[in-house]
Amino acid sequence: MGDGIVTDWTFEELVGDTGEFFSRHFGEQPLLRRGALDPARARDLVSVGRLDDLVTTETVPPAYLRIARAGQGVPGKAYTRVAAEPGTALTEAVVPEQVYELFRSGGTVTWNYLHHLLPSARRLVQAFARTFAAPAEAVAFLTPAGHDGYAPHHDPVDVFVVQTEGTKHWRVWEPAGAHRGEPATYPDGTLGEPALETTLHPGDVLYLPHGTPHAAAAGDQVSLHVSVTVTPRRWRDLLRETVEELTAGEEFAAVPHLDTPATGTGTAAQDGPAVAALAARLALLAERLTRLAPAAEAARLTETGRQRAGTPPPREFERLASLCALAPQDPLRRTRIPLAIGPSENGRTQLTVNGHTLAVPDAVATTLRLLEAGGSVQAGDLLHGAPAPRSVRAAESLTRLGLLEPATAAAGSTAR
Ligand SMILES: [Fe+2]
């Protein structure tokens, strides 16, 4: 879409000292960081002009847009049209002129899932997903000069606000007590005095823990901010995953009928066979929980959370374009792309990768099996016992297939 260089973002850039953030603010209290970003850097994330491009190219599906006026959502049909050409499916499209008209008359325009639309927002969201090992999303809020955004409410997610153009006046109240996990709006005047009242300028960052009531209004210019939201992973979410992992085996696969009556007479229901079986499973689970190494489990939960939140960008075109000839001493390792190693026939072994099947010399399959457990191999040794140039050629084709990658710190992005 013609924007300049897309740079990476770090979480530190936004919040500063992460140790202090996690000990003093995370989930507990707001953090206001003035001038966290240079204003030009903030505009790199998204500018008003980029949003014009997104609207006028008409490629943004209507589901990505939301418009609110006077605190109320505007129905989508006010700014979309349905095209019904004979013989074709119905398509819904955003009508730029109607979006602009709603904005001129005081509507706040919201772009959901901005990270699906702009590479810059995608990079930022990835930095958050890595840090929190949880799903993150970016939303842009464009508010006309002098207008309110949304009425006071709280969100069930942690919110990181980056002001990118104009100014926005924020009122923030003490976090709600019991219902922080669900969204809520607050009728006017029910919240009392704000705990924090501040005006954000381009480059300022404001963190709001989930469940923190807030309201924002534009200053005397058009105001644009991006909110990155992170879904909290609570203890109960994490421990559910732990129990799921510990009960994944066959021992927990049978289907009991818990209401099985006890045999004999006068025996209480808790002595029935199903109850005894349940007691045995509970004991087995308890034993596994006790044996679990907390550090390893914490690492596993972090890794699964990151994977679920989306892996880093593959940038496959760029990777393929930058693959130059390998040298025999270049170290290579396995990527995360799944590989099935089949049987050997006439000195060649069948590999299945991404739905493609290919046959490689048995020596290559042997090396790949070893690499599945980690570690690296030099390109010239992949085809053990063969002349180095042949081995390097085999290494190059497996690298192009995405099965191997350079084993250096700055290596490709599929294994980390
Ligand atoms: Fe909000």
Whole-number mean pLDDT of the chain?
Answer: 88
Q: How many residues does the chain have?
A: 416
Rounded CA gap, 156 and 150, in Å?
15
Neighbours of ion ligand 1 (CB under 5 A): 155
For ligand 1, the distance from its centroid to the CA atom of residue 267, given in whole angstroms, is 57
Side chain identity at residue 27, one-letter code = G
The model's pLDDT over 190-222, given as tens digits with 9 standing for 90+, comes to 888 999 999 999 999 999 999 999 999 898 899
What does the pLDDT read at residue 261?
A: 65
Q: Could you read off the pLDDT of 332-370 as tens digits, one per residue?
A: 999 888 899 999 999 999 999 888 889 999 999 999 999
How far is residue 83's CA from residue 12's CA, in Å, rounded to a whole number? 46
Of 162-176, 178-192, 217-231, give the lowest mean pLDDT range.
178-192
Distance 44 CA to ligand 1 centre (A): 23
Q: From the CA of 157, how far away is ligand 1's center (Å)?
A: 9
Cα torsion 175, 179, 181, 186 to 10°: value is -70
CA 302 – ligand 1 centroid, Å: 27
CATH architecture observed for domain 11-230: Sandwich (2.60)
Cα 13 to averaged position of ligand 1 atoms, centre (Å) = 22
pLDDT (0 to 100) of residue 78: 93
* Of residues 164, 165, 156, the one with CA closest to residue 137: 156
Q: Give distance in angstroms: CA of 3 to centre of ligand 1.
A: 28
For residue 281, the CA-to-ligand 1 centroid distance in Å is 44
Angle between helix 119-132 and 294-308 (nearest 10): 160
| Cα of 150 from ligand 1 centre, angstroms | 7
Q: Domains of the chain: which residue ranges?
A: 11-230, 235-308, 316-406
Q: Which residue matches tokens 């005081």?
A: 106
Which tens digits make up the pLDDT trace of 40-87? Answer: 999 999 999 999 999 987 678 888 999 998 878 899 999 998 877 777
pLDDT band of residue 415 (cuts 50, 70, 90) is: very low
20-24, 49-53, 60-64, 412-416: the lowest-pLDDT one: 412-416
pLDDT, position 413: 39
| 2 pLDDT more than 80 | no
Cβ atoms of 155 and 185 closer than 8 Å: no
Tell me the pLDDT tens digit for each residue of 119-152. Answer: 899 999 999 999 999 999 999 999 999 887 778 9
Q: Is the pLDDT of residue 314 over 90?
A: no
Q: Within 13 Å of residue 166, how many CA atoms lie on the same side as its CB?
A: 23
**pLDDT tens for residues 249-277?**
999 999 988 876 666 555 454 467 888 89
Q: How far is the CA of 218 from the centre of ligand 1 (A)?
A: 14
77 CA from centroid of ligand 1 (Å): 24
For residue 9, give the nearest of 91, 129, 117, 94 by alpha carbon: 129
* Ligand 1 center–CA 214 separation, angstroms: 7
CA of 156 relative to ligand 1 center, distance in Å: 9
CA angle 318/321/326 to nearest 5° reads 120
In one letter, which amino acid is 398? L
Check residues 112 and 181 and name the one with the higher pLDDT: 112
Distance 338 CA to ligand 1 centre (A): 40
Half-sphere exposure of 284 (CA within 13 A, CB side): 13
Tell me which CATH code domain 316-406 carries.
3.90.930.40
Q: How far is the CA of 288 from the centre of ligand 1 (A)?
A: 41
Residue 311 has pLDDT above 70, yes or no: no
Report the separation in Å between the CA atom of 41 and the middle of ligand 1, taken as the mean of its atom positions.
Answer: 23
